[in-house]
Amino acid sequence: MIYLISFSPGAEISVMDQRALTTFDVRDSIGVITIDNPPQNRLTDPVFIDPDLIQRCSDDDGVRGIIFAGRGRHFSAGADMDSMRLIASDERRFMARLNAGKALLDSIEALPIPTVAAIEGACFGGGLEIALACHIRVCARNALFAFPEVNHGLMPGMGGTVRLPGFIGFGKSLEAVLSGDIIDAERALEIGLADHVTPAKEALPFSLSLMKKMVADRPVEVIRSIVRSLNNGRTMTASEAMEEETRMFCRLAGKLNG
């Protein structure tokens, strides 16, 4: 299989998944997954990257963070409509692929290492759903966000309506999804859809710098414990998350004099 590779800190590794039209490389212990289907980086399948790669990154201490980006001018303009119609012709198969795509985004969201979406240009539909599954969104001033599915008689199908309210609230989410309107970078920052805005063509360099600031020289176990604890705050009850935080803190503290 294409992803039978071993990571090591500082390694420069590059592979390509021809089926999913994505590339992956490691830069100073930071993985970069690039949607590589120009000019608009449309998604030909809900499973846009091999799930095994995400699992390997989760398990391997040689990768301390992952950045998602798009090749060229755009992050991703969403689903390729011709490919979607072909898959949708078989309803059972279509539902299975959508569920697999949702599971992939869930695994990205649950990663025990930081994830950043570095967004240039269009971030529409499925592309926006990928960005929402990341922990942090960095966008260039030329970035544009939208769920345009309503204009095709559709709705987001890979968790967009579930994740969006957690960032911008129910009312703004309802307006954005039902109108299909485009949100520019400054508005995205204002309402909480984006975390940082950079000059054009600087989203990826800024994301790499931000990631290095967060993970460089940090023990891997500390990185993973912090990310897991923050994720627990979203997926567990408050008491369960508190208990897990205490357990992880004590485990780390017990190693200070080791």
Q: 243 an active-site residue? A: no
Apex 194 CA angle, 102 and 244, nearest 5: 60
Residue 188: name the closest of 227, 147, 154, 156 by CA: 147
Distance, CA of 246 to CA of 235 (rounded, Å): 17
State the DSSP code for 157: -
Residue 161: name the closest of 179, 144, 174 by CA: 174
Distance, CA of 44 to CA of 76 (rounded, Å): 11
Token reading at 222? 């500390």
Give me the residues paired with residue 122 across strands: 144
Q: 186 an active-site residue? A: no
Which one of 12, 91, 109, 149 is the catalytic residue?
149
Which one of 12, 91, 109, 129 is the catalytic residue?
129
State the DSSP code for 64: -
Distance, CA of 157 to CA of 84 (rounded, Å): 12
3-state secondary structure of 66: strand
Give me the residues paired with residue 116 across strands: 67, 136
The pairing of beta strand 144-146 with beta strand 22-27: unpaired
Distance, CA of 227 to CA of 233 (rounded, Å): 10
The total of other beta-carbon atoms located within 10 Å of residue 170's CB is: 10
Q: Name the residues annotated as catalytic.
A: 129, 149
